[in-house]
Chain A
Amino acid sequence: MADLSLSPRSALAPFLHAGHHGAEGKTGVKLREVTACALAELTAFKGQKAALIKSTQNAFGVALPAANKSVSKDGVTFISVSPGKWLVTGEGAAEHDLVERLENAAGSLAAVVNQSDARAVVEISGDKARSALAKGVMIDLDPAAFKTGDAATSFAVQFWITLWQTNDAPTYRLAIFRSMGRDLLHWLESSAAEFGYDIHG
Chain B
Amino acid sequence: MRIPCPFCGPRDSQEFSFLGQTGLKRPDPNAPDAQKQFHDYVHIRDNKAGLTKELWLHANGCRSWIVVERNTLTHEITGSEFASPLTKEAAQ
Residues of A at under 8 Å CB distance from B? 44, 46-47, 49, 67-68, 81-85, 138-139, 152-155, 160
Contact = CB atoms under 8 A, between A and B. Distances in A.
A46 B86 CA distance: 7
Interface in B52-92: 59-64, 82, 86-92
**Nearest 7 A-B pairs (CB), nearest first?**
A84-B90, A83-B91, A155-B60, A83-B90, A82-B62, A83-B87, A155-B15
Contacts of A85: 62, 90
Contact of A138 (B11, B59, B64): B11
Interface of B: 7-9, 11-12, 14-15, 59-64, 82, 86-92
Contacts of B63: 82, 153
28 contacts: A44-B90, A46-B86, A49-B89, A49-B90, A67-B7, A67-B8, A67-B62, A67-B91, A68-B9, A82-B7, A82-B63, A83-B88, A83-B90, A83-B91, A85-B62, A138-B12, A138-B15, A139-B11, A152-B8, A152-B61, A153-B8, A153-B60, A154-B8, A154-B15, A154-B60, A154-B61, A155-B60, A155-B61
Given A47-B89, A49-B89, A49-B92, A81 B62 contact: yes
Contacts of B92: 49
A47 B85 CA distance: 11
| Majority DSSP secondary structure for residues of B touching A | mixed
Contacts of A49: 89-90, 92
Contact of B64 (A44, A47, A82): A82
Given A47-B89, A68-B9, A153-B62, 4 more contacts: A67-B62, A153-B8, A154-B61, A160-B60
A160 B87 CA distance: 20
Nearest to B63: A82
A155 B3 CA distance: 14
A3 B8 CA distance: 50
A21 B21 CA distance: 50
B11 A154 contact: yes
A49 B91 CA distance: 9
A21 to B, nearest CB: 29
Contacts of B86: 46
Contacts of B7: 67, 82-83
Nearest to B84: A83
Nearest to B16: A155
Contacts of B11: 138-139, 154
Contacts of B59: 160
A34 B62 CA distance: 23
A47 B86 CA distance: 8
Nearest to B92: A49
A113 B39 CA distance: 39
